[in-house]
Structure 1
């Protein structure tokens, strides 16, 4: 009987699951589900919140299409799942009356603010194939628990976002490698790998003046599911602690390639009104780089939920190095 019930559960996960009019339909083998039957602008009752929360924990990122959220509705939705982050610094495009909402178009200002065209700024930050993969604010000692991203304006083609399931990536390692990485820790730092400009580089000075760094377990234990998560990304990880730099570079290359293997990923085609809600503790994602030359606008709005301090397999929590304290943004 126990074996049969397990088989039924696995079969149900492979197909759409409908609960109270809400349908959760997986879209890839390890990550991603589309949720229909809800109007996020009307608000979610407790039963709907429970369904969505469970779907996020199981599938790591969930997608809603055709939603009519404004900034107030976006913040209200996020509050049903946690406490929204209030960022201390945002760009001029973000709505002044909603400090929880960050508009991704703000990033277009950053290069110009430091004397660079946006393309050059991106090239100096993203000069390796894996450099763009990241979790949100991973250099903090308490990275956000989740992110809710809403599309306002998207290009007619291009501009997709890709996510990877770090719990599946960890499980996919061989047993000896899992046992090895369980005990390692890594330094995560803002501005890792940035290539300075010759001469005066005001962006480098900005990075140094606003430095954020923490030591995180290389494998964190998810606080809700208990899963072990391969806590690596190309954007923030500086070095594995306690090994030489050449050893660290080789290990990180192997682990990053494992983390973003295609079978652990899902890619989402945005439409106006689309919403993605992901577990920032168990995923990394890759923002698009195929649309800049198309000259189409892409305006997205982000609300993040406050997170906890990661804990490793041995129960040791992350440690802040500089520029970050739990709960202080």
Structure 2
């Protein structure tokens, strides 16, 4: 499925226009009012665009919480996270709201910028798919901007299918048969003494063995299922071997040609395939005196399956379909 056309790499389908914004990932969609509810043809076109371009962007939308959830339901079943931040609307359990410093500053007994540094002490640590340590990570995420700073606060996505295809044939054959343990909180640097965030991680631990290369359930593409935030170690390799291979793969995934960066505006919506992308939330706005309030809905996903047909194996803290 694709909405890619020969004319300027853009196309119109279901009355909407899909205009790619980067060579391997990302397209902007116009001509649809998400609050009014897209019709069946528009839903099909949006779904095809998400599968083709991995993340699509809408601007100038006027969604409220109910409209956000209703739009998400056209594409799958929204999950209801058991734990949400204090900024999340109490009467709409499908929506998670983050308000940056307003939400996270001081939550774990440290300033937000220190907490961020401890989570992102290497260049790769911030890259992640949503809830990748679960045995059934969400299939997709729909993120809506309410308030954004006048500058800074951009989000970046990377195309995991393009990254896999860009590997040499011998390396693809090697990683096809590997599996890796994904664990919540991997790589976080504890604070000396009592660390409330470490206690939080231990109290809510989640771990899964996923194929390092998963087969996308809709497109059939092979996807390099790796990220810097959750992957603990490649199974069967020594830790130094594992780290060297992971660094190589993460360098591949985050090559600029496989990424797209989005400048948020109030009313912007990003809809991405969480099975075929990783993303990097911004770290350039914590020092700015401007709020950044975002609302997220995630769609239930499948248990990943590797090239050999073997599914992921839950180790701790998650069961398929149960949040």
Matched, 1:209 2:203: yes
> For 2:312 and 2:6, how far apart are their aligned partners in 1?
37
Q: 1:18 aligns with which of 12, 15, 30?
A: 12
Normalized against structure 1, the TM-score is what? 0.95
**1:92–1:106 CA contact under 8 A, matched in 2:** no
| Cα drift, residue 114 of structure 1 | 2.3
For the aligned residues, what is the CA RMSD?
Answer: 1.3
Q: 1:162 aligns with which of 142, 145, 156?
A: 156
Q: Give 2:53's aligned residue.
A: 59
**2:101–2:291 CA contact under 8 A, matched in 1:** no
Q: 2:239 aligns with which of 240, 245, 250?
A: 245
Q: Give 1:323's aligned residue.
A: 317
Matched, 1:259 2:253: yes
Instruction: Output one character per residue of 1:30-69: Cα deviation in whole Å (capped at 9) or x when no partner.
Output: 0000100000000011111000000000000000000000
Mapping of residues 166-315 of structure 1, within 5 Å: 166-315=160-309
SS at match of 1:15: coil
| Cα drift, residue 14 of structure 1 | 5.1
**2:146–2:294 CA contact under 8 A, matched in 1:** yes
Matched, 1:85 2:79: yes
> For 2:318 and 2:101, how far apart are their aligned partners in 1?
22
Q: Give 2:23's aligned residue.
A: 29
Matched, 1:146 2:140: yes
> For 1:97 and 1:61, how far apart are their aligned partners in 2?
28
> For 2:220 and 2:14, how far apart are their aligned partners in 1?
27
Give the number of the structure whose residues are more often helix, by fraction: 1
**1:57–1:279 CA contact under 8 A, matched in 2:** yes
**2:100–2:292 CA contact under 8 A, matched in 1:** no
Call closer, same or farther: CA 1:107–1:83 in 2, change over 3 Å: farther
> For 2:4 and 2:31, how far apart are their aligned partners in 1?
23
| Cα drift, residue 109 of structure 1 | 3.7
> For 1:72 and 1:12, how far apart are their aligned partners in 2?
37
Q: Which runs of 5+ in 1 are unaligned?
A: 1-8
SS at match of 1:54: helix
Q: Which runs of 4+ in 1 moved over 3 A?
A: 106-111
Call closer, same or farther: CA 1:322–1:299 in 2, change over 3 Å: same
Q: Which runs of 5+ in 2 are unaligned?
A: none
| Cα drift, residue 92 of structure 1 | 1.2
SS at match of 1:150: strand
> For 2:19 and 2:229, how far apart are their aligned partners in 1?
31
SS at match of 1:48: helix
SS at match of 2:99: helix
